[in-house]
């Protein structure tokens, strides 16, 4: 079907516009200056839609929309840019012509089906994940029970042996006692040894008193050790504290010193007063007349004396004071200074003492707490060694006594007694450790049995939990699933084989199409026509090989080497030849290629080359390219020459001339503006 009409869409920049009556034209040449809307008019050929649509006429002259399939669009619409950019990929282009992409696509779809079928055919297990986890845990535990028979009977036998051995070794344990009965009872496990194991373990702990992993009770020796350590720390703290509290009588000393200072000061004051009195007496006596001096009372001692004698005595006394009394005063004053210094020191120590006293009170409270805590932990368990029980009883008595006697505040005596308690605990601790070591040595085989007993108990518990998982394989369903998978596998194989066959076929078709002498010959013939542009071009050969980027190697016949670089003009020419070769192959292969559009094919060409292209395009015969050719150009010379050559070789040409169209404005103003439409019939020789 041939193109009859082009209708521009509303999104087209030159909308509205319609080009009609094209069905008889072999060549449609769109001629117009730049900006006249040539490319816009051609856009429906590239991609129909809102830019416009292309219609043809069927046998009954009914309009029918024509489209170029997506995969051929790049081959049937050749823009100038594409012609200038690179040598077209002939391999892919020719492969398209061979229809191999469709076969390849089929192969890909089939492979996708295979993958989907394989993934959907995977068996889905209903097995609970916990089953595998428990199995691993069980196997790990089992591996640790080397050499033990892993049965409940073994477990019970081991437990009985252990209980019996413990009983024999321990003082006070009666085989028929309540403890023995409960131990025996606990050895009969309720849940394959799980509960029995736990109960038995506790009983054994109580019986033996050793600290083992599963027990909650500590050994007596361990308890004593921790108590002793706690007491020792407390005693160390007490010793430090006691040294600090040795300044206990400070306030009395301070009081005594203050009294002494007061007395000394009073002595100094009295002495000063005496000196003043003596000076006054001398002055008084010196004023008494000699007649009256026969007898007068002494101003100092108030005895009747001759004044001259009194004067003499006072004078002598004054001399004595001058030589010695000052020294005495100085001594007294020094004493006061000393007393002040002592008072200062004592006040400091008194404050320190107050702090110590507070600490001692707090410490005393702490000691009480320690002893109470130790006391609560030193309760002997049933069946413990009597020696331990007696020792603990002594210790308890001592502690209780201390607590009663020193419930209020700490004293040096309390600290001392506390130290004695710690020492007693230490002694018991040492003895306890000694006994425990001895006991451990004696009971080494028993302990090994106990370890084994523990491991076996854990293993039995794990086995019980594992076996309690409810999961049963539905074999019937599994087999049905298996049959379904086998059926699926058969289909998958079949489809995979078909996919592979198509892949090989596509490859073969592609290769054969490329190697077709027809395709290579067509290219050669087309390129040869450019000899007038450049004779060198006529010597180019395409042998089907490609470079790393899938560009075809063009081999120069003369120089015998690959041509990697072409000038711009040469590139346009070679690309044009290649494009028309591909389009020709496609059209002849009946692939439904409806047209070949060339948008400005003469870009980058000089006039000679442009003429050559016009000659070349115009001379393409219907046999070489059995479809309509649409060419747009701004070059009127090229258009005229193309028209002339085409009509000369017997093709009908429709020349559409366009004017500038107005941008913006009303639709009528901006629409496609035809300057003329001419039809040229083939020239008859």
Partner 1 sequence: MIQLSHAADALLDRCLARCNERQAPQSFGSFFQHAVAQALGCIDRYRGCYANPGAGQPDVIAGDTGFEVKTHMGVSIELTGNYASIRSQYARFRLIFLRTDLRPFQLGVLEVPETVPQRVNLGAAVAEGLKSDTDLEGQLGNELSTTLEAVGTDWSDAPSPAQAREVLQRVLRR
Name the site residues for partner 1 (rule: CB under 8 A).
125, 127, 131, 134-135, 138-139, 142-143, 145-147, 149-151, 154, 459, 463, 466-467, 469, 471-473, 475-476, 478-479, 482
Q: Which is nearer to partner 1, 463 or 654 (CB)?
A: 463
| Residue 277 or 469 with smaller CB distance to partner 1 | 469
Minimum distance between the CB of residue 460 and partner 1, rounded to whole angstroms? 9
Q: Which is nearer to partner 1, 460 or 514 (CB)?
A: 460
Tokens representing 342 are: 């002592």
In the bound state with partner 1, the residue whose beta carbon lies nearer, of 149 and 438, is 149
- The distance of closest approach from Cβ of residue 471 to partner 1 in the complex, given in angstroms and rounded to an integer, is 7
Q: Which of 574, 593, 592 has its CA nearest to residue 82?
A: 574
Nearer to partner 1 by C-beta: 193 or 419? 193
Residue among 123 and 517 whose Cβ is closer to partner 1: 123
Q: Closer to partner 1 at the Cβ: 151 or 240?
A: 151
- Name the one residue in this structure whose structure tokens are 């007063």: 273
Angle at 409 between CA 405 and CA 412, to 5 degrees: 80
The least distance separating partner 1 from the CB of residue 398, rounded to whole angstroms, comes to: 54
Q: How far is the CB of 231 from partner 1 (least distance, A)?
A: 50
CB of 453 to partner 1, least distance (A): 16
Kindly report each contact of residues 241-244 with a partner whose C-beta sits within 8 Å and lies 24 or more positions away, as own/partner: 241/356, 241/359, 241/360, 241/363, 241/410, 241/415, 242/412, 242/415, 244/352, 244/356, 244/359
Contact between 579 and 552 under an 8 Å Cβ cutoff? The reply is no
Q: At its nearest, how many Å lie between partner 1 and the CB of residue 150?
A: 5
* Contact residues for 40 (Cβ-Cβ < 8 A; gap 6+): 8, 12, 13, 14, 51, 672
Report, in Å, the least distance between residue 382 CB and partner 1: 35
Of 126 and 669, CB closest to partner 1: 126
Of 134 and 208, CB closest to partner 1: 134
DSSP per residue, 460-504: HHHHHHHHTS-----HHHHHHHHHHHHHHHHHHHHHHHHHHHHHH
How far CA 202 is from CA of 212, 213, 274, 450, in Å, comes to: 10, 11, 96, 12
Integer Cα distance of 180 and 163 in angstroms: 8
Q: How far apart are CA 257 and CA 570, in angstroms?
A: 128
Long-range contacts of 7-10 (CB under 8 A, 24+ apart): 7/44, 7/52, 7/53, 7/54, 7/55, 8/40, 8/41, 8/44, 8/51, 8/52, 8/672, 9/44, 9/49, 9/50, 9/51, 9/52, 9/53, 10/50
Angle at 426 between CA 420 and CA 429, to 5 degrees: 145
Minimum CB separation of residue 477 from partner 1 in Å reads 9
State in angstroms the smallest separation of the CB of 496 from partner 1.
Answer: 24
Q: Identify whether the C-beta of residue 648 lies closer than 8 Å to the C-beta of residue 20.
A: no
Tokens 């016009």 belong to which residue? 614
Closer Cβ to partner 1, 456 or 655, answer by number: 456
Q: How is residue 602 written in tokens?
A: 């003469």
Measured from the CB atom, the residue of 197 and 388 that comes closer to partner 1 is 197
Q: How far is the CB of 199 from partner 1 (least distance, A)?
A: 23
Q: What angle do CA 673, 674, 677 make, to 5 degrees?
A: 170
Shortest gap between Cβ of 456 and partner 1 (angstroms)? Answer: 11
């Amino acid at each position: 079907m041939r193109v009859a009409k082009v209708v521009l869409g509303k999104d087209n920049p030159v909308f509205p516009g319609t080009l009609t009556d094209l069905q008889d034209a072999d060549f449609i040449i769109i001629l117009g200056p730049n900006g006249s809307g040539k490319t816009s008019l051609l856009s429906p050929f590239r991609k129909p839609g809102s830019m416009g649509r292309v219609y043809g006429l069927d046998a009954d002259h009914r309009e029918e929309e024509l489209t170029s399939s997506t995969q051929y669009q790049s081959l049937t619409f050749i823009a100038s840019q594409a012609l200038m950019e690179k040598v077209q990929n002939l391999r892919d282009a020719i492969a398209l012509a061979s229809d191999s992409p469709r076969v390849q696509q089929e192969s890909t779809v089939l492979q996708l089906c295979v993958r989907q079928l394989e993934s959907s055919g995977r068996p889905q297990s209903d097995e609970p994940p916990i089953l595998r986890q428990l199995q691993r845990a069980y196997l790990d535990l089992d591996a640790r029970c080397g050499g033990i028979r892993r049965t409940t009977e073994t477990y019970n036998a081991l437990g009985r042996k252990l209980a019996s051995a413990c009983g024999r070794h321990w003082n006070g344990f009666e085989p028929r006692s309540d403890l023995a009965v409960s131990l025996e009872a606990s050895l009969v496990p309720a849940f394959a040894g799980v509960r029995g194991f736990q109960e038995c373990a506790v009983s054994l702990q109580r019986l033996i008193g050793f600290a083992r992993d599963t027990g909650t009770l500590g050994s007596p020796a361990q308890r004593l050790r921790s108590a002793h350590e706690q007491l020792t720390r407390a005693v160390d703290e007490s010793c430090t504290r006691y040294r600090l509290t040795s300044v206990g009588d400070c306030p009395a000393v301070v009081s005594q010193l203050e009294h002494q200072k007061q007395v000394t000061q009073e002595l100094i004051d009295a002495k000063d007063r005496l000196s003043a009195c003596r000076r006054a007496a001398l002055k008084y006596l010196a004023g008494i007349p000699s007649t009256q001096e026969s007898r007068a009372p002494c101003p100092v001692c108030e005895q009747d004396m001759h004044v001259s004698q009194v004067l003499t005595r006072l004078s002598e006394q004054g001399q004595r004071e001058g030589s010695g009394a000052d020294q005495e005063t100085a001594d007294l004053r020094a004493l006061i200074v000393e007393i002040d210094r002592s008072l200062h020191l004592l006040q400091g120590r008194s404050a320190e003492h107050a702090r110590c006293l507070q600490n001692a009170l707090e410490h005393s409270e702490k000691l009480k707490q320690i002893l109470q805590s130790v006391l609560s932990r030193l309760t002997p368990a049933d069946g413990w060694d009597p020696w331990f029980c007696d020792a603990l009883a002594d210790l308890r008595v001592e502690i209780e006594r201390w607590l009663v006697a020193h419930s209020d505040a700490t004293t040096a005596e309390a600290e001392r007694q506390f130290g004695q308690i710690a020492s007693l605990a230490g002694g018991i601790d040492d003895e306890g450790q000694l006994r425990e070591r001895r006991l451990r040595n004696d009971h080494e085989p028993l302990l090994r049995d106990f370890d084994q007993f523990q491991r076996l108990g854990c293993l039995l518990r794990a086995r019980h939990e594992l076996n309690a998982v409810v999961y049963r394989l539905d074999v019937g369903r599994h087999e049905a699933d298996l049959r379904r998978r086998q059926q699926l596998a058969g289909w998958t194989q079949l489809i995979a084989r078909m996919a592979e066959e198509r892949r090989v076929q596509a490859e073969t078709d592609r290769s054969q199409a490329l190697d077709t002498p027809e395709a290579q010959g067509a290219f050669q013939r087309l390129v040869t026509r450019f000899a007038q542009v450049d004779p060198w071009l006529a010597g180019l050969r395409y042998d089907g090989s490609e470079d790393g980027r899938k560009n075809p190697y063009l081999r120069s016949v003369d120089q015998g080497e690959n041509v990697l670089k072409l000038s711009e003009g040469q590139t346009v020419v070679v690309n044009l030849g290649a494009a028309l070769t591909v389009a020709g192959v496609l059209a002849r292969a009946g692939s439904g290629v409806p047209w070949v559009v060339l948008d400005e094919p003469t870009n980058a060409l000089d006039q000679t080359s442009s003429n050559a292209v016009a000659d070349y395009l115009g001379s393409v015969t219907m046999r070489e390219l059995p479809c309509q050719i649409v060419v747009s150009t701004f070059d009127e010379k090229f258009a005229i020459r193309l028209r002339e050559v085409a009509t000369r070789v017997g093709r009908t040409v429709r020349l559409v001339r366009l004017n500038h169209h107005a941008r913006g404005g009303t639709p009528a103003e901006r629409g496609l503006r035809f300057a003329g439409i001419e039809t040229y019939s083939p020239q008859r020789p």
